[in-house]
Amino acid sequence: MEVLVLDTNFRSVAIVDTFESLIWTDRYFKCGDFELYLSVTSNYLSLLRPDQYLWMNDSEHVMIVEKIEIVTDAETGNHLTVSGRSLESILERRIIWGQKVLSGNFQDGIHELLTENVISPTIAARQIPNFIFEASTDPVITALTINTQFFGEDLYTSIQELCEANNIGFKITLTDDNHLKFKLYSGADRSYDQLANPYVVFSPKFENIINSNYIEAKNALRTVTLVGGEGEGADRKLVSVEVSTGGGSGLERREIFTDASSVSSKVDGGTLSNIDYEAQLTQKGTENLSQNVEVSSFEGEVDVSKMYKYGEDFFMGDILQIANEYGMEAKARVIELIHSQSLDSTEIYPTFATVN
């Protein structure tokens, strides 16, 4: 792998092709990150600076250099560690300015958040130049609805949590004419439960997983949340929200409280109806429950020389069929892909989250 260095105007200034290791991680629900480890040279010190960008041809994402660390050692030599996150992290540089109520189409709501806080905000200094929104025509996305409220929250976290709660990915990519393009996307189903797409199966039976790590944990799982809205004490507005499969009872019921006191019924000089206000609180509860789920995931080192190749046969966010040698088989979404290169090898490590 070669890494292209871009300056703050996204112009190519150098190629880094000599390094000891590179870990480059792309993600579906969150921004990606990277770590580049190499010997210190005066050339690299001048090129690899914070706010520069990195790109490699095995990924559609561009990374932002955020941290530089130099370690000197008389025995092993002097080394430079460069790290940072992908372009999606720039949304963390903005908050949702003031009160914002979203009700209706999900994609339109995300577009509104970006338009008012990034693309064409009323305060000109808040604009991020060359940032554009590309609408998705995927019916999985266009059919989604939203009913929520914000006041001053971090823009990145707000969008990330809304997307994850709906199993939707988002990405910011660099176009050929140097625009920062935001897009929502949903992976294709390539599991045994459909007939529209060719199957993609990773299993020891097909000898296309070199090793795997299966994780199953319920310690974070919550099935019911009591959401507290505006008001105090006995006058506080409360709603109860359950997961889609039901909150359960006895030991199967797992509760959590969601503080939604920032959600106001007073909007633009008017007052939300009781039904609309409860819908706003319900959305906050649903988002909180989506962050407290049962973990069931596969990690594996894929043999890309056999059967399936990432970027051709399957992509980020796709739902695949995966199994291990103990007969554990499930539909699983690709939520992360790690490209790892050292002096000895180049490897790809996907992370799969099971899909019910």
The partner residues of 95 in beta bridges, in order of sequence, read 154
88-118 per-position pLDDT tens digit: 999 999 999 999 999 999 999 999 999 999 9
High-pLDDT (> 70) share of the chain, %: 99
Per the model's pLDDT, the better-predicted residue between 203 and 324 turns out to be 203
The answer to whether 295 and 217 have CB atoms below 8 angstroms apart is yes
- Residue 297 pLDDT > 80, yes or no? no
Cβ within 8 Å of residue 327, ≥6 positions away = none
Write out the DSSP string of 106-138: HHHHHHHHHIIIIIS-SSGGG--TTEEE-----
Q: Which two tokens stand for residue 59?
A: 């990924």
Neighbour-count burial for 52-91, b at 16+ CB within 10 Å, e otherwise: bbbbbeebebbbbbeebeeeeeeeeeebbebbbbbbbbbb
Q: Which two tokens stand for residue 306?
A: 């056999």
pLDDT given for residue 305 in this prediction: 66
Average of per-residue pLDDT values in the chain: 92
Output the CA angle 116-121-125, nearest 5 degrees: 145
48-78 per-position pLDDT tens digit: 999 999 999 889 999 999 999 999 888 888 8
The answer to whether 228 and 237 have CB atoms below 8 angstroms apart is yes
The predicted model scores a pTM of 0.86
> At 262, which amino acid appears?
S
Cβ within 8 Å of residue 156, ≥6 positions away = 31, 88, 89, 91, 92, 94
- Residue 242 pLDDT > 90, yes or no? yes
What is the mean predicted confidence (pLDDT) over 285-302? 84
In terms of Cα–Cα distance, which of 15, 24, 79, 12 is closest to 310? 24
